[in-house]
Amino acid sequence: MITADELNKVSGVRHAFFTRRGGVSEGAYASLNCGYGSGDDPERVRANRARAAQKLGLAGSALATAYQTHSAAVAVVDGTWSPEDAPRADGLVTGTPGIAIGVLSADCVPVLFADPAAGVIGAAHAGWRGARAGILEATVDAMTGLGARAADIVAGIGPSIGQGSYEVGPEFHAEFVTENPENQDFFAPGESGARYLFDLPGYVGRRLSALALAAVEALPVDSCADEERFFSYRRAARRGEKAYGRGLSAIVLDAGAGPRPGGAGVPPCPT
């Protein structure tokens, strides 16, 4: 597991960007695959999620993840659910201590948020579609709906595909630059003149910076290039492999955590 220094400074919060190491899955899913939708044996996924939760000091049943659809939908969490009942969302927020909220990724950008004054946390899954659609902004908005303030929120950008590994076509480039000419900053020439290398975590970072948060930290890790530690959709696709695991990024409020005196928070929701 990897952590972000800025989130480590936040009291009353634990978090982790888990690597693929330390699980029970085999083959393409080896070894800490935490995605029920991956095609892996559900019992092995359940065991992996329990191991990850244990690293955060929790039981496996205390971990909540959504059915992700590359959208800007956010769910407010006050309890956990079975895999078949997971909400369709790419962002989760909570003010309830003891529940780990998490996102799953295999090249997309996981972002974890915390407002220590309000006792509110969030997690977002930001692929290029979700980031463009506004999942980052929607997650922060949902946190403020629970009493957080943008100026008090700390964000950590986890392992995701690096620019050197992410080649895209001219149509992709044209869409982004037409939408905002400043998006040209996130493109470099590809191997051929007709293709480009896209900086997805850089794009996510700029959108977060526009929200005037307390701090934003990006971990300099390329999930596609680092096969030993991370799952990667794009790496699997290049090899013609249909199966790949999903890595977990999760955050939890410690039991007893909540709004601090003078904070803008609201009382924790009942579990």
pLDDT digits (tens, 9 = 90+) for 78-115: 999 999 999 999 999 999 999 999 999 999 999 999 99
Grade residue 192 by pLDDT with cuts at 50, 70 and 90. confident
- Classify residue 59 by its DSSP letter: -
Question: Can you say how many angstroms the Cα of residue 38 is from the centroid of all Cα atoms in its chain?
Answer: 17
pLDDT mean across residues, the chain: 94
- In the chain, where are the structural domains located? 5-162+199-252
* Rounded Cα gap, residues 216 and 248, in angstroms: 20
Range 42-71 average pLDDT? 97
Q: What is the pLDDT of residue 267?
A: 31
Q: What is the mean pLDDT of residues 176-196?
A: 95
Q: What is the model's pLDDT at position 260?
A: 47
User: Is the previous residue joined to 209 through a cis bond, with omega within 30 degrees of 0?
Assistant: no
Whole-number pLDDT of residue 266 = 30
Q: What is the pLDDT of residues 41-52, one digit of tens each?
A: 999 999 999 999
| 171: pLDDT strictly greater than 70 | yes
Q: What is the pLDDT of residue 262?
A: 39
- pLDDT tens for 194-216 read 999 999 999 999 999 999 999 99
- The torsion angles phi and psi of 13, rounded to 5 degrees, stand at -135, 140
Q: How far apart are CA 216 and CA 154, in angstroms?
A: 6
Q: What is the pLDDT of residues 212-247, one digit of tens each?
A: 999 999 999 999 999 999 999 999 999 999 999 999
pLDDT at 263 over 90: no
DSSP state of 63: E
- pLDDT over 70 for what percent of the chain? 94
Residue 149 has pLDDT above 60, yes or no: yes
Residue 1 CB partners (closer than 8 Å, separation 6+): 16, 17, 18, 19, 52, 55
User: Is the model more confident about 270 or about 133?
Assistant: 133
Tell me: pLDDT of 261 over 80.
Answer: no
Question: At residue 271, does pLDDT exceed 80?
Answer: no
Top-confidence residue, 271 or 211:
211
Confidence of residue 125 (pLDDT cuts 50, 70, 90): very high
pLDDT at 11 over 80: yes
Regarding beta strands 167-168 and 109-115, do their DSSP bridges make them parallel or antiparallel, or are they unpaired? unpaired
At residue 212, the pLDDT reads 98
Given CATH 3.40.640.10, say whether it is the number of domain 5-162+199-252. Answer: no
Q: Work out the pLDDT band at 159, boundaries 50, 70, 90.
A: very high
